Amino acid sequence: MIKRQKTGKIITYLFALLLAIFVCFPLIVMISMSLKAPDEQFTYPPHLIPQHPTLNNYFQVFGQGSMFAKYFSNSLLVASVSTLIVLGVAIFSSYGYARMNFPGKNFLFILLLLSQLFPLAAIIVPLYRIMGNLKLIDTYLSLIISYLAFSVPVGVWLLRSFFLGVPQELEEAALIDGCTRFQAFWKIVIPLVRPGMGATAAYVFFLTWQEFMFALTFINSESKRTLPVGIFDFVGQYETNWGNLMAASILVCIPVFVIFFFIQKQLVAGLTEGAVKG
Amino acid sequence: MKKQFLLGVVLLLVICLLGVASAQEVTLKVWLMKQAEVELIKAQEEALAEFQKLYPDINVEFTVFPYNEYRDKLLIAAAAGNPPDVSVIDQIWNPEFAAAGFVIPLDDYVTQSPNVKKENYFSGAWESAVFQEKLYGIPFDVGVWALNYYNKDIFRNAGLDPEKPPVTWDEFYEMGSKMTSEQQWGTALYVGSGDAVQCIVDALIFSNGGSVLNQDFRKCTLDQPPAIEALKYFKKLQSINPSGEVARTEEDSFQLFTAGKIGMFWYGEWGQDTINARAPEMDWALANFPRPAEGKSIGTFGGWNMVIYQQATQKDAAWKFIEFWTSKEINEKVSSLTPANIEAAQAFLNQKRKFPEVVFQQLSTALYRPIFPRYPDLAEIQRNATTNILLDQKSVEEALKDATKEIDALLDEYYANH
């Protein structure tokens, strides 16, 4: 019996290890390539560990003629502002959907989720025209507004399940003790859904950090491009600067890794929270 | 009092002059491809400063895009009525942009221009901009598919003279066979998903005296003997190349070449820098694209033309910019591929490329790809035929007959509606 458990465990670990290798391999190749000079990138047989490791690719990514640093700060700006606004809107809206009763509540909630059904490709043309009429083409605002359009519903939906997870009795107790409705919300409920807010913020940040299509369509000036669009600078018509491209890709991943590292527990909880509640 | 009055008059005059000057000043929006080389970016800036000195009232605003995003951006902007005044476009987009009415014919400008003359540019590049007898673009830069890159060490190891690269198809095949073993091959074909394979196949057909479309581009000629022979030869090369050519891209084949796995490799002249970066130790050389015993070595043109948009507000300023940018002195400095201006090309090749005469000769005789607004669809039919042939799904004759039928249907459908 014990033996069987042990073999079961070994098999589990073996599969976990295989899966980890499978998932990490591209990343490892990326790192390896980013540390190689061009004459080492495509040797036969290929070797994973660079024989003459160099940081040149990283220097070149930030070097003269490269806009990478600017793209990076643009992405950071657009993603952070979008995340903050989504959070601000979603806290109140999702609380309303979780706690309050008003006519048409279910209908409106479904409407909100319905907006998620449209493929981006279908709404990009009307959005482009709207942005054009508003003279917003080639501005950060055009990106932030369109990101809000598809990330606010997700934020509301995610946070709502966290609010549902807070026992209503807590708020009632606070009300009895003399809190106003808003105080109960702000002082009692919000601190309890903080993990949910973290998860929502991270989710929205990831979504906007990697968004490509709007960023490609709405932005023209080089100085306003975001990373997913800008990284194509390293891909030429005929040839690709693989070393620089891989170094840039690693750098793009870093903020995502950092955020994920801090909030992975909440994120996993956030995505399954409410899965079994109505 | 008098002084003050005078001062006032002078001030007024200055303001008036400034007002006039700013009223005349125009802003020219120019879209180009993103360049990675620092030197080139600097050269562009210097050239721009020179232009501004010549035309102080034209304010040029550059916007650059990486290749992968460039076409989409142009199409979106043109369709939304917000295109730049001038841009470069790929030769194969020129008929499409012309047919859609995005860009204007330049014939009148050319007649009046002292500098822009047909004979100043590679003729194949110039012809690529002609659509229904009107000229819609001025060549900016060019490249030719293909030249024959070869690894001299592999030649020596196979007992071949590295100073005598193959000239004819048969020589190429025989020398390739001598290099082919378990671990090494004569060459590496590629199909992939891009247009490169089409350029190679077209070059074989051109060299064999054939064509893809007839003279007025209304009928497909792929079922004629020159094309059939060319593809039979292409198929024959399968035996001196590592398997997997259908999935392989030109980039993959290039990697095989720089890794010393293949002796010969068909690619454009711009590949030289990459070889030097990836395989600095390699002893390589360059020869003309092989020709059939009775034929002439003819490559396929690639490259970029400069166009003026229908909705451009500054068409005359745009033309001045094109005149300047494609002139010998400037063209030579600001292009990363070989300049389309012949004199500029000679200077450029001598300075930046090895084997400049070989490259120049290949460029001088190269031909453009079929002129058709829906060229990508046509190229896909061709690529499918090539794939069928390489995978033994159809015989060469059958595949080309089917492709001809499909392309004719495509042409008929297009010209019935336009």
Give the closest-approach CA distance of A102 to chain B in angstroms.
42
Examine the pLDDT at B1 and tell me if it is beyond 60: no
**What DSSP character marks residue B369?**
P
Angle between helices A140-165 and A105-114 (to 10 degrees): 130
Q: State whether B33 and A222 contact (CB < 8 Å).
A: no
- Whether A163 and A240 share a structural domain: yes
pLDDT at res. A121: 79
Examine the pLDDT at B129 and tell me if it is beyond 60: yes
Mutation for testing the A interface, residue in B38, B62, B69 having most A CBs under 10 Å: B69
Residue B144 has, within 13 A of its CA and on its CB side, a CA count of 33
Q: State whether A235 and B271 contact (CB < 8 Å).
A: no
Residue A138 lies in a domain: yes
Examine the pLDDT at B151 and tell me if it is beyond 60: yes
8 A C-beta contact, residue A148 and residue A90: no
**Rounded to an integer, what distance in angstroms lies between the CA atom of residue B267 and that of residue B270?**
8
Give the closest-approach CA distance of A35 to chain B in angstroms.
14
Residue A110 lies in a domain: yes
- Whether A238 and A197 share a structural domain: yes
**What DSSP character marks residue B265?**
E
Examine the pLDDT at B7 and tell me if it is beyond 70: no
Q: Give B162-221 pLDDT, tens digit per residue.
A: 999 999 999 999 999 999 999 999 999 999 988 999 999 999 999 999 999 999 999 999
Mutation for testing the A interface, residue in B257, B274, B278 having most A CBs under 10 Å: B278
Closest CA to A218 of A97, A131, A160: A131
Examine the pLDDT at A277 and tell me if it is beyond 60: no
Reading across the β-sheet that carries B147-151, which strands appear in turn? B185-187, B262-267, B147-151, B284-287
Q: State whether A44 and B36 contact (CB < 8 Å).
A: no
A51 near B CB under 8 A: no
**Rounded to an integer, what distance in angstroms lies between the CA atom of residue B400 and that of residue B394?**
9
pLDDT at res. A1: 56
Looking at chain A, which residue has its C-alpha nearest residue B38? A65
Residue A92 lies in a domain: yes
Last residue within a domain, chosen from A54, A79, A98: A54
State the residue for tokens 């005469």.
Answer: B357
Mean pLDDT of B107-120: 94
Examine the pLDDT at A148 and tell me if it is beyond 80: yes
Which of A41, A216, A217 is nearest residue B278 as measured by Cβ atoms?
A: A41
Examine the pLDDT at B339 and tell me if it is beyond 80: yes
Residue A59 lies in a domain: no
**Rounded to an integer, what distance in angstroms lies between the CA atom of residue A155 and that of residue A203?**
8
Mean pLDDT of B293-309: 96
pLDDT at res. A274: 53
Looking at chain A, which residue has its C-alpha nearest residue B80? A129
pLDDT classification of A196: cutoffs 50, 70, 90: confident
233-262 in chain A: CB under 8 A from chain B = 233-241
Mean pLDDT of A119-145: 89
Residues from chain B that touch A128, judged by Cβ atoms under 8 A, are 76, 80
Residue A278 lies in a domain: no
Q: What residue type is assigned to position B382 of the chain?
A: Q
**Rounded to an integer, what distance in angstroms lies between the CA atom of residue A191 and that of residue A197?**
10
pLDDT classification of B19: cutoffs 50, 70, 90: very low
Three-state SS at B407? helix
Q: State whether B36 and A132 contact (CB < 8 Å).
A: no
Q: State whether B63 and A221 contact (CB < 8 Å).
A: yes
Of the listed ranges B76-85, B126-135, B216-225, the one predicted with least confidence? B76-85
Examine the pLDDT at B20 and tell me if it is beyond 50: no
8 A C-beta contact, residue A41 and residue A244: no
- Whether A47 and A128 share a structural domain: no
Phi, psi of B388 (to 5 degrees): -55, -40
Residues from chain A that touch B281, judged by Cβ atoms under 8 A, are 39
Of the listed ranges A81-85, B35-39, B91-95, B390-394, the one predicted with least confidence? B35-39
- Whether A173 and A263 share a structural domain: yes
Closest CA to B124 of B139, B137, B105: B139
- Whether A46 and A123 share a structural domain: no
Which domain covers residue A114, as residue numbers? 65-272
Mean pLDDT of A40-58: 88
- Whether A12 and A95 share a structural domain: no
Last residue within a domain, chosen from A18, A33, A54: A54
pLDDT at res. A44: 79
- Whether A35 and A128 share a structural domain: no
Average pLDDT in chain B: 92
Last residue within a domain, chosen from A30, A54, A78: A54
What DSSP assignment string belongs to B159-221?
T--TTS---BHHHHHHHHHHH-SSS-EEE-----SSSHHHHHHHHHHHHTT--SB-TTSSSB-
- Whether A218 and A250 share a structural domain: yes
Residues from chain A that touch B268, judged by Cβ atoms under 8 A, are 238
Average pLDDT in chain A: 88
Residue A179 lies in a domain: yes
124-153 in chain A: CB under 8 A from chain B = 128-129, 132, 137
pLDDT classification of B275: cutoffs 50, 70, 90: very high
Examine the pLDDT at B3 and tell me if it is beyond 90: no
Residue A188 lies in a domain: yes
Give the closest-approach CA distance of B34 to chain A in angstroms.
7
Burial status of residue A259 (CB atoms within 10 A of its CB: 0-12, 13-18, 19 or more): middle
Closest CA to B31 of B78, B92, B86: B86
pLDDT classification of A271: cutoffs 50, 70, 90: low
- Whether A23 and A79 share a structural domain: no
Q: Give B21-78 pLDDT, tens digit per residue.
A: 445 789 999 999 988 778 888 899 999 999 999 999 999 999 999 998 999 999 988 9
Residues from chain B that touch A44, judged by Cβ atoms under 8 A, are 259-261
8 A C-beta contact, residue B162 and residue B226: no
pLDDT classification of B136: cutoffs 50, 70, 90: very high
- Whether A18 and A108 share a structural domain: no
A54 near B CB under 8 A: no
- Whether A37 and A74 share a structural domain: no
Q: State whether A43 and B259 contact (CB < 8 Å).
A: yes
Domains and CATH numbers, chain B: 27-142+301-365 (3.40.190.10), 147-298+374-417 (3.40.190.10)
**Rounded to an integer, what distance in angstroms lies between the CA atom of residue B381 and that of residue B399?**
10
Which of A44, A221, A229 is nearest residue B69 as measured by Cβ atoms?
A: A229
Q: How far is CA B315 from CA B280, B307, B308, in A?
A: 46, 10, 7
8 A C-beta contact, residue A153 and residue A86: no
Looking at chain A, which residue has its C-alpha nearest residue B276? A39
Residues A186-206 as b or e (16 or more Cβ within 10 Å = b):
eebbbeebebbbbbbbbbbbb
- Whether A50 and A78 share a structural domain: no
Instruction: Count up the domains in chain A and report the number.
Output: 2
pLDDT at res. B2: 55
CATH number, position A169: 1.10.3720.10
